[in-house]
Structure 1
């Protein structure tokens, strides 16, 4: 049985990995492009145990680390890492950059955080087993359940529409339950499915774009910069433009089983 401490740590790891921390709590001073160039380093805050996002000692470094290195390279500096696993550590960390920040025009981040130009489109998809006949939510039988993150917006949306759901704390638990035939479908992010398929080629899951028309369940992904000056923000935007144009970001994501989707 999972202990309360393990549950807490996994919740922290998940929140950190998808860029959901309240950046207003970060204590670092504002950084200019000139300061970063003089220092010779761009500091990325990431979780040390949150693949496919990031890892300090895993078999691969994670796509956030790989992308951070490429952004730093474009600026002409090295990437340094601040490994954080708790809200307290985030508040104390000296971050310049946090990746996988949700970028929404109707809900800009607070606390002096500025987002870069978006480089990816994410959201919620419906995952099913590869041998499932399902092609939409409408095909679910009256007794078939969809696994959902507990307390999530998609959970409320499906419940309101009369779809039976089964709540889980973590997305990796949802896709594992799906693969084990405990549920019929899963409402999760494409990153979770892509990474699962990368690790379980013998029983891959299939994606159904069941929520594409719901703007609340789709969002752009960008780099979060803590109190950057205009020159730093412009340089990061230019770096991302270059890395998109030459296919670098596409290749990084593909190594983790993830398809890069153009932002909207």
Structure 2
């Protein structure tokens, strides 16, 4: 717009000069360039369940929406948390309202889930999975350390081998779903995948176990930034893993053996 206005101004001046110096020049105002306002990100703490008395509530995040940039962008984080995750929370509360499930923990619901109750299955899974995923992210990511690294080296041979296998599973998972690092019934670490909002706590899970690490590979988790480049998103994920929190989960799982 600005360039067109400048060109128009010069054209008018040139035409008037060409017609004679005795012609009066007309002043043309060049409009200011349009300003694009930057949309401010919200505060995760402001995101609340529709029912304040519902059995399950939003837990908040330990970081701001933009804290994980450039690996996960602020807009994706805000949409993911305040729209998708909130939706699962609200629908779960509605699905279990007035039932004995209101007094159960999310883990108890998942462990004894009737897999034919798709409304509860999808929304309880979505609520648990997203809480887990958001909890193991941080702006100060790095490589695994402490007890969980020792277990990774023992069960996969090395951290690099674990990373390769985890990335391969996430890349090859067809459609929407999750990739998990779990502690299985034998006490070893294993990588497994689930479709939609299923997870390794549910009955009939292909590989049951206690989740230690999780990656959301639904398109809504990465499409705004990475579009169809899922592998780039997976690679970026390794820069924002909260290994301290993962190690805590590993030790908690070990303590219950």
- Normalising by structure 2, report the TM-score: 0.25
**Greater share of residues in strand:** 1
Higher relative contact order (CA 8 A, sep 6+): 1
**Greater share of residues in helix:** 2
For the pair shown, the structure with the greater C-alpha radius of gyration is 2
